[in-house]
Structure 1
Amino acid sequence: MIILASTASAGTTWPSSFLVVAAVLVSGLLLAGPALRRRYPVAWWLLFGLPVACCRVIRTWRPLMAGCGLAVSRRPALTVVSGLVGKGAPPPQPLVPRFGFIRPTAGGFWLLARLLPGQVPNDFVKAAPAMAEAWGMHAVRVAPQKPGTVRITASVTDPLAYPRIPKQRGPVHLLRVAVGALETGAAWVIDLRRIPHWLIVGATRSGKSTLINALVAGLAPQPVALVGVDCKGGMELSLYEPRLSALATNREQAVRLLAALVDLTLDRMTVCRAARVRNIWGLPEQERPVPVVVIVDEIAELFLIASRNEKDEAHAAGTALIRLAQLGAALGVFLLVAGQRVGSDLGPGVTALRAQLGGRVCHRVADPGTAEMALGDLNPDALKAAQAITPEQAGTAVLASGDGWERARSHLITEADAEAIAAEYAHLTPHLPELLDAK
C-alpha cells in the first residue's frame, strides 16, 4: 500500500513540475527576448521569429489568396449556384496556388509558389503588400523564378537601415567587392568579372560617393590597376591618388588618358590573337596583363560643351569610352562611370555609352530623366522604386542588370577611410608605362 501511494504521488507531481518548468522557461524567454533580438538578431529570428512566421503563412495562405483574387473556383459560377439552390450543398473550396517549403534566411524567408492557369507573376507582385501585412513582415518581394513559378521573399526587418558587410571567408576573388547589403539581407557584391561595366548615378548626398569609396576600398588590396578620370579638378578621386596608376583632372587630360587606354586594349588584343585565346583570362597567369578598373567621376563634365574645341574633345572622350566598353571586358579593362545627372541632352554619345554599361546603380536623383536613363531600359518596376527613394534614405539605391533588380544600401566608408586604405596599399599600384604620356 505504501509503494502504491508513493507511486501515485509521484505521478501527480510530475505534470505539475513540468508545467512549472515550462512556465519558468517561457517567462525567461519573454523577458530575455528583446535583449536577445537586439544582440543576436539572426539567432532570435531562427529560434522564435521564423516558427511564428511559418504558422502565419500556413494559416493565412488560403484566405489571403482568395482576398487578393488569386483563388480560382473549381466549377463555373452558374453550376455552383444551381448546386446550392438544388441540393443545398456547401460551395466547393476554390483552388489556390500551391507553395513549397519555407526556406529561412538571416532576416526572413523565401518560398516558391506555383501559378494557376491564367495567372501571371504581376498578379502576385500586386499582392505583395497584403502578404507583408498578413504575415507581419517588413516587406515582401515577388519575382519570377521560372515559367509558372514565382519566388516570394519576405524580410522581417529593414536590412538597409544598418547595412553590414559579412566577414570575408576564404580567398578574395579578383575584381569582386562586397560593398553593402541587399534588401533580402544578403551581401551586395559587385563582381566585375560577371558584369564588367557599371553606371552609377545619384544626386549630392545620395550615397554615390560612399559607394565609390567602398569600391576603391575593396579593390585597393587586389592586384589591379586603378585609373581615375575626374574633370572637376580631381576634387573627388585625388583622395585615392597614391593607389591610382593614372589620374586625369580635366577634359584635355581625360581625352589623352582614354586614348591611351584604347591603345592598351588594342595591344592586348594583339597578344590574345597571337596566343589564340579569346580573352586575357585564357593566357597563362604569368603572362596575363593586370586588370584595369577605370573610375569616371561626373560623366557630364566630359560631355558638356561651350565651344567648337570643346565639342571635338567631348566627342573624342565619348568615342573612347564607348570603345573601352565594347572591347574592355575581354581585355581586362572595366568601367565605373558615375554622375549626378545623366541625360540624352548631353548628346548621343551618352545614350550609346549607356547601352554598353550592363550594370546600373541609381541613388536618389534630382531629376526623373536621370533615373529614366539609368533604369528605364531595363525594368519599369526598378524605375518606380528608384523614384521613391527619399532624401532621408542616403546610401539606398536600386541596382539593376539583365538579371533583374534589387534595392540595396552601401556600407558607410568615409572619405578619410578610403584615403587611408589607398595610402596603405599604395605599394601595390601597378606601373603602366602605356599611360605615362597621357599625363
Structure 2
Amino acid sequence: MNSASTTSADATWPSWVLVVAAVLVSGLLLAGPALRRRYPVAWWLLAGFPAVALRVASTWRPLMAGCGLAMSRRPALTVVSGLVGNGAAPPQPRVPRLGLIRPTAGGFWLLVRLLPGQVPEDFVKAGPAMAEDWGVHAVRVTSWKPGVVRIAASAADPLAAPRIPRTRGPGQLLRVTVGALETGAAWVVDLRRVPHWLIVGATRSGKSTLINALVAGLAPQPVALVGIDCKGGMELSLYEPRLSALATNREQAVRLLAALVDLTLDRMTVCRAARVRNIWGLPEKERPVPVVVIVDEIAELFLVASRNEKDEAQAAGTALIRLAQLGAALGVFLVVAGQRVGSDLGPGVTALRAQLGGRVCHRVADPGTAEMALGDLNPDALKAAQAITPEQAGTAVLASGDGWERARSHLITEADAESIAAEYSHLTPNLSDLHVEAL
C-alpha cells in the first residue's frame, strides 16, 4: 500500500512541476508588456536576459566560425586525409573560450579568451554580427587584459529616452548626474575626479542641454558659479541669479579671468602656509568655496580683428591656461564649451585643450572640431563622434584618460534651468568674499 502511494506520488511530481512552470511562463507572457514598460530592469532580469543568455551560449560556436574566429584543430591536409582514408567526421574547430555571461541593468557582459594569433580588433570587427545574431541593440568589444576581451551588449538603446533622476538635492560635492551612458549606467560628471572639461557641439546638437543639466545639478551645492559668455550673455544669462559673476564681452572676460587667477594664487598662499597640497587638506571651516567657471562659445574669446583684440585674446587664453594648470588643487574648475574649436583659433586653444582632461563631443559641423576634442585621446571615440547624425540630438561621445563612452544628457529645458537658478539664488556666494573684484 505504502509502496503504491509512493509510486503514485513520484509519478505525479513531475506533472506538478510542469504545471507550475507552465503557469509561471503564461503569467510572465501575459504580464510581459506591462512589466517591461513599468519595470524594464525587472523584466530584463526575469525574462529578457535568460533568453538572450541561452541564445549566446547556443550560437557561440557557429557565430565564431561564421566570423572567421574559429581555428581548425589539425592542418587542412591532415583533415582531408582523415576524411578520405577513414570516412570520419572532421574535428570540431577550436573557438575562443566563452566566459560567464553576467547581466547588467539593460544588457550583459562576458569575457572571452583569445586563441593564439588573434587580436582584440578581430572581435571589434565582429561586433555588428554578434548584435545581429543575438538580437540586441549594440555590442561593444574592449580589451580587458592581454589575451582577453570584454564583450558588453545593450539589449535596447538606453540613449533613446534617458530618465531624469527621481530626487534632486545637493548630493555629493561637485558630482552631478547629467544623463545616461550607453551601458545604461548614469552619466556622472565628477569635477573632483576630472576637474576640467571641453564640450563641443553644433547648433541643436545637445550642448546647451548638457550645460543646463550640469548647472541644475551644481545649483543646490555650496559652490560658486561663474559665467563667461562673450555673445552678450545670450546663453548663460539664464542662470544669472545663481551666478557669482557673468562676463558678457571679451573685455569683461579678461578682467574676470585675471581676478580668478589672483584668487588661485591667494589660495596657493593659504595652502602653503598650512603645509597642505590642496584646499581639500584644509580644515572644513577654513576651506574656500569651490568655483566652477563656465565658458560658453570659446571661439569668441580667441577670434581677433585688430591688434588690441589680439592682446585681449592672448591675455584671456593665458589666464585660462593658468587656471587649468593650478585650479584643480585650488578649487577652481573649468567647463569650456563651443560650437567650433580648432587649431586655427591660435596656439592658445591647443595649449588649453591639453589641460582639459574631460571631453564631450556632440554632433559637430566640421571634422576639425571633433579632432580637437577627441583626436588626442582615442581614435575609436573620434570615429563614434563623427557617426552621430542630426536625428540623434543630445547624443555625445565623452572621453577622458579612463576611456570613452556614448552618452546622452537629460532634457533640462531653458525654463527648467532658469527656474532652478532662481530657486537656489540664495546660495550664490558673494565674489567679494572670494577676493574677486566685481566687474
Whether TM exceeds 0.5 here: the answer is yes
Q: Residue 340 of structure 1 aligns with which residue? A: 339
Q: Residue 137 of structure 2 aligns with which residue? A: 138
Q: Residue 258 of structure 1 aligns with which residue? A: 257
Q: Residue 185 of structure 1 aligns with which residue? A: 184
Give 1:6 shift: 9.7
Query: 1:257·1:435 contact (CA, 8 Å) conserved in 2?
Result: no
Q: Residue 314 of structure 1 aligns with which residue? A: 313
- 1:345-424 counterparts in 2 under 5 A? 345-424=344-423
User: Partners of 1:282 and 1:406 in 2: how far apart?
Assistant: 32
User: Partners of 1:261 and 1:221 in 2: how far apart?
Assistant: 22
Q: 1:337 to 1:356 in 2, by over 3 A?
A: same
Query: 2:170·2:218 contact (CA, 8 Å) conserved in 1?
Result: no
Letter in 2 for 1:313: E
User: Partners of 1:34 and 1:271 in 2: how far apart?
Assistant: 61
Q: Residue 437 of structure 1 aligns with which residue? A: 437
User: Partners of 1:438 and 1:354 in 2: how far apart?
Assistant: 28
Give 1:24 shift: 4.5
User: Partners of 1:286 and 1:96 in 2: how far apart?
Assistant: 61
Query: 2:120·2:149 contact (CA, 8 Å) conserved in 1?
Result: yes
Query: 2:260·2:436 contact (CA, 8 Å) conserved in 1?
Result: no
Letter in 2 for 1:321: L
User: Partners of 1:18 and 1:116 in 2: how far apart?
Assistant: 42
* 1:186-241 Cα deviation digits (max 9, x unpaired): 00001111111100001111110000000000011111111100001111111111
User: Partners of 1:226 and 1:210 in 2: how far apart?
Assistant: 17
User: Partners of 2:210 and 2:187 in 1: how far apart?
Assistant: 11
- 1:195-206 counterparts in 2 under 5 A? 195-206=194-205
Query: 1:42·1:106 contact (CA, 8 Å) conserved in 2?
Result: yes
Q: 1:23 to 1:277 in 2, by over 3 A?
A: closer
CA RMSD of aligned residues (A): 2.3
User: Partners of 1:163 and 1:365 in 2: how far apart?
Assistant: 22
Q: Which moved more, 1:299-308 or 1:32-41?
A: 32-41
User: Partners of 1:8 and 1:97 in 2: how far apart?
Assistant: 47
TM-score (norm 1): 0.94
- 1:4-15 counterparts in 2 under 5 A? none
Q: Which moved more, 1:282-291 or 1:14-23?
A: 14-23
User: Partners of 1:329 and 1:364 in 2: how far apart?
Assistant: 28
Letter in 2 for 1:240: Y
Give 1:89 shift: 3.2
Letter in 2 for 1:257: L
Q: Residue 49 of structure 1 aligns with which residue? A: 48
Q: Residue 89 of structure 1 aligns with which residue? A: 88
Unaligned runs of 5+ in 1: none
Give 1:7 shift: 9.5
Give 1:112 shift: 1.3
Q: 1:389 to 1:328 in 2, by over 3 A?
A: same
Q: Which moved more, 1:236-245 or 1:81-90?
A: 81-90
Unaligned runs of 5+ in 2: none
TM-score (norm 2): 0.94
Q: 1:74 to 1:23 in 2, by over 3 A?
A: closer
Query: 1:165·1:187 contact (CA, 8 Å) conserved in 2?
Result: no
Q: Residue 220 of structure 2 aligns with which residue? A: 221
Given the alignment of the two structures, is residue 26 of structure 1 paired with residue 21 of structure 2, yes or no? Answer: no
User: Partners of 1:417 and 1:211 in 2: how far apart?
Assistant: 13
Give 1:133 shift: 1.0
Letter in 2 for 1:65: M
User: Partners of 1:417 and 1:235 in 2: how far apart?
Assistant: 16
Q: 1:149 to 1:19 in 2, by over 3 A?
A: closer
Q: 1:169 to 1:91 in 2, by over 3 A?
A: farther
* 1:19-40 Cα deviation digits (max 9, x unpaired): 5555444333322222221121
Q: Which moved more, 1:105-114 or 1:22-31?
A: 22-31
